[in-house]
Every structure is written in C-alpha cells, then in structure tokens.
Amino acid sequence: MRASSAAELVEAVEAAVAGGTLAPGERLPSVRRMAAAVGLSPVTVATAVAELRRRGLVITEARRGTRIGEGPPVGSLRAPLPVPEGARDLSRGNPDPALLPDLRAAMVRARPPLRLYGELPAMPELTRIARDQLQADGIPAEALCVVSGALDGIERVLQAHLRPGDRVAVESPGYAALFDLLRAQGLLLEPVAVDERGMRPAELAGALARGACAAIITPRGQNPTGAALDARRAAELAAVLAGSPGTLVIEDDHLGPVAGSELHTTVTGRERWAATRSVAKALGPDLRLAVLAGDAQTVARVQGRQQCGPGWVSYVLQTLVLELWSDPQVQAQIVRAREVYAERRERLVEALLQQGVHAHAPSGLNVWVPVDDEAGVIGALLQRRWVVAPGAPFRLGAAAPAVRVTTSTLSAPEAERLSEDLADVLAPTRWARSG
C-alpha cells in the first residue's frame, strides 16, 4: 500500500476493509513501520490512524496495538446467512409477520396532517400516550422525543455524551448490531456477563471500575439470551450504578409490550439516563419509530441535534403509530402476539429439556442454546435444513459458545423436530465430554 497523504492512507485502508483484504481483528503495523511501508512520515500516519479510529474503522488499545474493528462501518460486512432452498430460517430475530397489525388498513384510516417546517417535532397526542405507557412501567418519562428506532435513539444519546475512546458497559452475550454501532462511534466495549435475570451486578461493578462511563441495559427480551430483569435484579443493578452517579445509563426496551415479561427499570433517580421503547416488534420493524425518554438535558441534546439533521420523524409515521395504538383490535392483537411468542419460546425450551438440552429464555423472541462448537452445530443443522444464528457475533470476552434460535414463528411440530435434531447434533460432543 502506498499513499501520498493522510487522507489517501485513510481511503486506502477503508477500501481494503470494504474489499475484504483487511479483515476485522487484523493488526495494523506500528506507526513507524507503516510510515516506512507507505512512504509517509510517522506524524502523517498517526494523523491517518486517528481519523480511522474516529470513524470506527480501527481500535487502539494500550497493550494490543491498533487493529481493524469488528463490523467496521463500510459496506455490508455482516451479510445475513444464506438460506438454501427448502431450509427453515430461524436465524434473524424477526417478529412473526402474521402477528403484526395490517399496516395497509391502518394507512387508509390514518389521516396525517399537512405538516410543514417549523412545527413541533413530535405529535402531542403521541407523546402523551407514550408518556403514559412508560410511566405505567415506572420510567420517569417527563422529557420525551421521537426517534427512528431504538438504535437511532441509542446512537443519538451516545453522541450527545460520549467521545471516541470512551468505554461502555454492554451485555455479553449481547446484541451484535449494537456492538457494531458502538465500534463505529469509536467507543470501547466493556463486556458484562448476563444470566437469565440480565446483567450480573458484580460484573457491572467491574466494568465501571475499569472506567466505563456508560452502560446499556436491555431490561427484558435480551438479545440473544431472552434474559429479563426482575425487581430484585433491577434494584441490585441500580445500587451498583448509584456508586457512579455521573454514569450514563441507557435502557433498550426493543420489544415493548410483546416482550413477555414486565419491565423493571434501573433509571429511577439517575442524573444522566435514557430509555428507548421501539414499536418495531409489536407494530412492525419498518415503521422505524421509537420513543426516547430521558433526563431533560439528554433529551434536549438529542432533540436539538436531530433538528439540525433530519429535523423530525415524519408525521406520516407518527400518525400511523398513533392510529395503531388507538385501535382496540390492534391492542388485542398485541396481547395475543405476546402470548403466542411466549408459548413458542417456552415450547422449544421444554422440548429441548426433554432431550436433555438446557436452554433458558425467560422472555423475547429467541432461545440461546449453549454448544461446544458453533460452526459444527450450524453445519450439521444446515444438513437437516435448519438455519440458526452463530453465537460469535453476540459474544464478547468470556461468553461461552452458543447458537441463537428465533422462535417467533416456530410451530409445535417444528419445535419437536428441531429439538430432536439439536440433541442428535450435540450428542457426540456431550458424549465425548463425559467420556
């Protein structure tokens, strides 16, 4: 690789990552060696590396040097798994389309007002209903705004408070797309182990002691494990966080009313906090809408910045969500979806247990199945025409290997067959371990 300026070097590295010549995790040479190799001064190379770091393409850590980040933000590096014809795809974490409300019918009923520049960013009626919903779940939702989905809200909150190089406590295993988002912002991940009740308090304390200045917590339907905070765990985490009053806490309620468990929050009484609630799983991912509550400063910063860019979330979408929220039939459908998701998830957990395979999933749309060899299990299941998600992108630090099965559309006979196949596939390794 040759370059005649810092900008050219940045472009060359970016092109190499997008083209796959430089792979995620690959180490870059030291600044001095790179300078000699590309024909630039060490100062110019250091400038290029700083820019790559700012853009989330590389990560620099004291003892590990500089390397290409996981999921760097160029091209689509995390392409979904290919699904061979005739195979059953349980890898994507999607809701069941049959359990989503009919958007076309709601679009006919919803009559979005004519909206021009210079008006309120959120519809007052939508804000009022969202506030009531959040407050009913114990979230002190005074300040609120509307964003384009949970991840958009999280990105905006992080941008409002954090800088590249800051550390963020995240669940491990946790949501791979969230990890990518943080890396793209040049933030460093501090993994916190989860059990079926969510983040483990002692591990969160460890992450804070290592300098995490923010924590992102999924209160229920944790992706990929299905963990959900109960009242005791939420109180334990709040007690740990109370020792770091300035720490930013973000709660990601990405499933909302279809999560299948109550919400227990950790944000009450905190100085800097935000809580997103997405409509993606209950009403449809394509609505791209979430509400974001938070302390007054956080919401003001998010809203102020949003107004400088896209301005607001379209009133066409806001009206549609309002129409859906106000429809008793849709409300009944949400209750039914919650019950069906719980039934499908629990059925697979139960069927697996009968085969001697232990998997927990107290809420959400997925079951996380511990395995010894992710690639081996995925390959063997593929031969039996099942596509499940590898655990690796969800795992950080010491999280044990597993595969993620999305149960949102899984029928009873399928749960039976899949658990038999999984038990079969796992049998040789289980036998080998005990032998």
Ligand X SMILES: Cc1ncc(COP(=O)(O)O)c(C=O)c1O
**Where along the sequence are the contacts to ligand X (CB under 6 A)?**
93, 149-151, 175, 218, 223, 252, 254, 278, 280, 285, 290
The nearer residue to ligand X, 58 or 280, going by C-beta atoms, is 280
User: Are 273 and 298 a contacting pair, CB within 8 Å?
Assistant: yes
Residue 381 is encoded by which pair of tokens? 């299941």
Q: Determine the Cα–Cα distance for residues 183 and 166; give it in Å rounded to an integer.
A: 11
Closest to ligand X by CB, 247 vs 366, is: 366
Read off the tokens for 180: 């990518």
Concatenating the DSSP letter of every residue in 35-97 gives HHHHT--HHHHHHHHHHHHHTTSEEEETTTEEEEPSS-SSS--SPPPP--TT-EE--S-PPPG
Please, is 34 exposed, middle or buried when counting C-beta atoms within 10 Å of its C-beta (0-12, 13-18, 19+)?
Answer: buried
For ligand X, give the closer residue by CB, 150 or 160.
Answer: 150
Q: Which residue lies nearer to ligand X by CB, 150 or 349?
A: 150
Q: Please give the DSSP secondary-structure letter assigned to residue 401.
A: P
Q: Which is nearer to ligand X, 14 or 252 (CB)?
A: 252
Nearest-approach distance from CB 285 to ligand X, in angstroms: 5
Least Å distance, CB 365 to ligand X, is 8
Supply the minimum distance, in Å, between the C-beta of residue 149 and ligand X.
3
The distance of closest approach from Cβ of residue 92 to ligand X in the complex, given in angstroms and rounded to an integer, is 9
Smallest CA-to-CA distance from 258 within 345, 359, 196 is with: 345
Q: How far is the CB of 153 from ligand X (least distance, A)?
A: 8
CA 92/CA 95 separation, integer angstroms: 9
Nearer to ligand X, 173 or 186 (CB): 173
Our CB check for ligand X shows the closer of 223 and 419 to be 223
- CA distances from residue 351 to 303, 343, 413 in whole angstroms, order as listed: 47, 12, 10
To ligand X, the closest distance from the beta carbon of 102 in angstroms equals 20
**Shortest distance, CB of residue 50 to ligand X, whole angstroms?**
30
Report d(CA 315, CA 318) in Å as an integer. Answer: 5
Residue with smaller CB distance to ligand X, 9 or 263? 263
Using DSSP, state whether 8 is helix, strand or coil: helix
Distance CA(103)–CA(418), nearest Å, equals 32
Instruction: In angstroms, give the least distance from the CB of 91 to ligand X.
Output: 12
Alpha carbon 41 to chain centroid, angstroms: 40
Q: Which is nearer to ligand X, 69 or 256 (CB)?
A: 256
168/145 Cα distance (integer angstroms): 23
Strand, coil or helix: what is 101?
A: coil
Closest listed residue to residue 61, CA positions, set 153, 165, 133, 156: 165
Distance between CA atoms of residues 405 and 370, nearest Å: 11
CB of 343 to ligand X, least distance (A): 20
C-alpha to C-alpha distance for 50 and 264, rounded to whole angstroms:
40
Q: How far is the CB of 235 from ligand X (least distance, A)?
A: 22
Nearer to ligand X, 150 or 213 (CB): 150
Instruction: Dig out the tokens for 4 from the structure.
Output: 């005649």
Backbone φ/ψ region at 123: left (φ over 0), alpha (ψ -120 to 50), beta: beta
Nearest CA among 63, 55, 56, 69 for reference residue 22: 69
Q: Which two tokens stand for residue 147?
A: 């964003």
Q: Which CB sits closer to ligand X, 44 or 266?
A: 266
d(CA 414, CA 407): 10
Tell me how far, at minimum, the Cβ of 129 lies from ligand X, in Å: 18
Tell me, what amino acid is at 220? Answer: R
